[in-house]
Structure 1
Amino acid sequence: MKLLVNGQSIEIAQPQVTVQNMLEHFSLSNKIVVVEVDEQIVDKTQYSQFRLQDGAKIELVHFVGGG
């Protein structure tokens, strides 16, 4: 499955991928993240059920602490 994540093309070997699977792939599953799929924000309660389609355009926004 090919996805466009934050402007970069990636390929994931799994045929069925949820938002939760993708966040785990990027080690973001335990972080505060806003996920937008094809210009629609996905509610956090739907991450484990929301299936991504081949070619989906995804934007991930997560917060990084610092000083």
Structure 2
Amino acid sequence: MKKIYNTIFVNGQAFNCDINMSLQELLIYLEFELNSIVVEHNNRIINFAEFDKIFFKSQDKIEIITIVGGG
């Protein structure tokens, strides 16, 4: 069985992901700490509770910003 991929853009870089991959699965695959990031999907900020409900279409754009604390 042949796998089907979507090409999406993560922080401006092309990334091929399985058509069934959720945003949450992508973030885990890329080793992001889910509680320490802000994610924008096609110019819309995504709430943490929606990460597992977002699936990609070809050419979608994902921007991931890591939150850093300090003083």
TM-score scaled to structure 1, two decimals?
0.82
Q: CA RMSD in A?
A: 1.8
Aligned residue pairs, count? 66
- Relative to total residues, which structure has the larger helix share, 1 or 2? 2
Aligned-pair identity in percent equals: 26
Gaps of 5+ in 1: none
Distance, in Å, in 2 between the alignment partners of 1:15 and 1:59 is: 19
- Where does structure 1 differ by over 4 angstroms across 4 or more consecutive aligned residues? 64-67
- Find the counterpart in structure 2 of residue 22 from structure 1: 26
Gaps of 5+ in 2: 1-5
2:54 counterpart of 1:50: yes
Q: Deviations over 1:8-41 (max 9, x none)?
A: 11112x2212110110111014441111011001
TM-score scaled to structure 2, two decimals?
0.78
Larger Rg: 2
